[in-house]
Amino acid sequence: MRPIQLHLLHFWKPSTRDLTYQIPFTQHLKDHLNWWLDRANTTKGKSLHQWSATLTITTDASKTGFGGHMNNQIFQGFWSVQEQKQHINLLELEAVIRTVQHFLPQLQNQNVLLKCDNTTVVQYVNKQGAPSPYTFVTRHGV
């Protein structure tokens, strides 16, 4: 939106021009407006609409193992000796990934609330992380 706003403000000043003033339609402006026509661009990110979870998954991890819970189902496991050497943030994220993968067949077309006590993982999932295999975790249509 910022380039569109800057274009508008460059050609129209609210204090000196009325609302009927015609703003030039340049190729630069057209390129930025076309971005909004691509559904893939407008469906990214967080929804502006209120949503409610149809399923809740809770995960936790320690240096020895991990667990996940959905409805009355439990998924758990132990880390290998090599995995135990990983930073706890990575283990917590891995617990989320393994749990979601385990329950994935039941998550199709559901709004999933993911609960995790690790703030780094929560931020990573909410922001959909950095480009990596971990970005598959989404709220809608996992």
Full set of structural domains in the chain with CATH: 1-43 (no CATH), 55-139 (3.30.420.10)
Of 39 and 83, the one with more pLDDT? 83
Gap between the Cα atoms of 113 and 90, Å rounded: 20
Q: Starting from the edge strand earliest in sequence, which strands make up the sheet with 73-78, in order?
A: 73-78, 65-70, 55-61, 112-116
Q: 56-88 pLDDT, tens per residue?
A: 999 999 999 999 999 999 999 999 999 999 999
Q: 103-142 pLDDT, tens per residue?
A: 999 998 898 999 999 998 988 888 776 554 444 444 444 4
- Sign, CA dihedral 32-39-124-111, equals positive
Q: 83-99 pLDDT, tens per residue?
A: 999 999 999 999 999 99
pTM: 0.59
**Cα distances (angstroms) measured from residue 16 to each of 7, 21, 25, 47:** 16, 10, 20, 36
